[in-house]
Amino acid sequence: MTTFIGISAVRARARSHDVARRSSIVLLTALPMLWANATALHAQVVSSSVSTQTRTGPASGTVLRSSFFGALTGTALAAGYYFLSEHGNRSGNCHPVNCALPFLSFSGAFAGLTIGKELDAQRRAFEPRVGDKLQFGFTEGAVLTSPTFIDVRDSLIAVVSDSGAQLMSAATTPKALRRRAAGLSSLRQVAIVPDRGSMVLGTANALWQAPLLSGPAKRLAGGAVDALASSRDAVLSASGKRIRFQSGNDDNPRVDSLDMRDAVTAIAYDSIANSWLVATDSQVVRVSSVDGKLALTGAALALPASARAVAFNDQWIAVALGNEGVIAVRRSEFGHADATPVRVINEPRFAYDLAFLGSALYVAGGVDGLFQLSLSPTARVVGSSRQVQFATTIRAGVGVLWVGDRNRQSVVRIVP
């Protein structure tokens, strides 16, 4: 009886070993097929992504390739276990074929699947949701800390941040020149006034002016500065609903002010129309400054949300609306009752700032990077670039873009 039981046990182990051996053979046979399917699926996914410009699904070639290499690694470990261990010393009778190979192969495949999903999620997070993936030539210049606002005039860049104000050269490789207005804090805005040889700084409690080269800053007006812009010889600032205009030289300044209907959130000097575009949370209004006096022209564009920035070229006037996207109207239609504005929504998810370079409109999209938009014949996203990791402020120069990148703590010169 004992002999019969022993023989039965031996036969049972032999059958289990045979089943394990067969399953291992099936696994080894399936690995090349899995690799072939992964390669084919990856090619299909790439082809689909090129044609549709949408994100790929979770079962991409990256996931399958990672699973395959995980299983292959487990198989290699099992083979190493077989060749390096002594048959009589294998712990718990765990033989290479009936134990180590299936366990390590499936464990490797599962680990590869997990890693592949994570890598695929990271890759898809950096792919454009709409439009093409853009690559630009760029150089950068380090600043004191993450830039809050920048202004570019001629060969100079003015940068303000939590660490103060700084001037940089607007050269092929931007370089730091000098710090200005030491001691000022809570800097929000900056504008260069070329004909005065000065820069105007907006803080949380006052408006200041400082020479570009040397000398102390001078307080121009009290109150938090919510928006600021300059022409070559004049400055328009906003504090709440009130806008303040200053022209003339420092010895004989001319100052005027005007109260708007709503709090002002952005200002731009329209050099083509020789007037100012003043934006609030409900509209963009054109304001004239003839002979040092401010006046509403009556031309306005209704906005669906609060404005963050205004930009223009010879054909369009565009407004960044934060999480409401971008709205634009043809210059010839601005202020007309029958104007037909165009909008780009959802992308970028938050429009911080914008600037025209020729006919192309570029938008600083925060963590989504830099976006290029086309407004004609239809408003659409051309593409985006993640080379700028956290774009919050942007200006256009002579054929180039200057972008403030908070992650890099630098001003980036981009050549589209």
Q: What is the mean pLDDT of residues 180-196?
A: 92
Give the number of other Cβ atoms within 10 Å of residue 407's Cβ: 11
Q: pLDDT per residue over 193-228, tens digit each?
A: 999 999 999 999 999 999 998 889 999 999 999 999
SS3 336: coil
Q: What percent of the chain has pLDDT over 90?
A: 58
Q: What is the mean pLDDT of residues 319-341?
A: 95
State the pLDDT at residue 181.
86
State the pLDDT at residue 42.
43
Q: pLDDT per residue over 65-96, tens digit each?
A: 666 666 666 666 666 655 555 554 555 556 65
| Cis, bond preceding 128 (omega within 30 deg of 0) | no
Question: pLDDT at residue 325 above 70?
Answer: yes
Q: What is the mean pLDDT of residues 234-262?
A: 92
Question: pLDDT at residue 41 above 50?
Answer: no
Least confident span in 19-33, 176-190, 239-253, 269-283 = 19-33
Under the banding of pLDDT at 50, 70 and 90, the label for residue 169 is very high
Q: What percent of the chain has pLDDT over 70?
A: 69
State the pLDDT at residue 10.
41
State the pLDDT at residue 80.
61
Q: pLDDT per residue over 284-305, tens digit each?
A: 999 999 999 999 999 999 999 9
Between CA 99 and CA 102 the distance in angstroms is: 6
In the chain, what are the domains? 2-127 (no CATH), 137-415 (2.130.10.10)
State the pLDDT at residue 277.
98
C-alpha atoms less than 13 angstroms from C-alpha of 181 in its C-beta half-sphere: 30
Sheet holding 218-222, edge to edge: 187-193, 198-203, 206-211, 218-222
State the pLDDT at residue 4.
38
pTM for this predicted structure: 0.74
281 vs 110, which has greater pLDDT? Answer: 281
Question: pLDDT at residue 5 above 60?
Answer: no
Q: Using CB atoms within 10 Å of the CB of residue 194, give its burial: 0 to 12 exposed, 13 to 18 middle, 19+ buried.
A: middle
Q: What is the mean pLDDT of residues 308-320?
A: 97
Q: pLDDT per residue over 114-140, tens digit each?
A: 666 666 565 555 566 778 999 998 899
Question: pLDDT at residue 397 above 50?
Answer: yes
DSSP H or E stretch at residue 318: strand 316-320
State the pLDDT at residue 408.
87
Question: pLDDT at residue 406 above 80?
Answer: yes
Question: pLDDT at residue 239 above 80?
Answer: yes
Question: pLDDT at residue 276 above 90?
Answer: yes
Q: Which residues pair with 311 in a beta bridge?
A: 318
326 vs 251, which has greater pLDDT? Answer: 326
DSSP state of 376: S
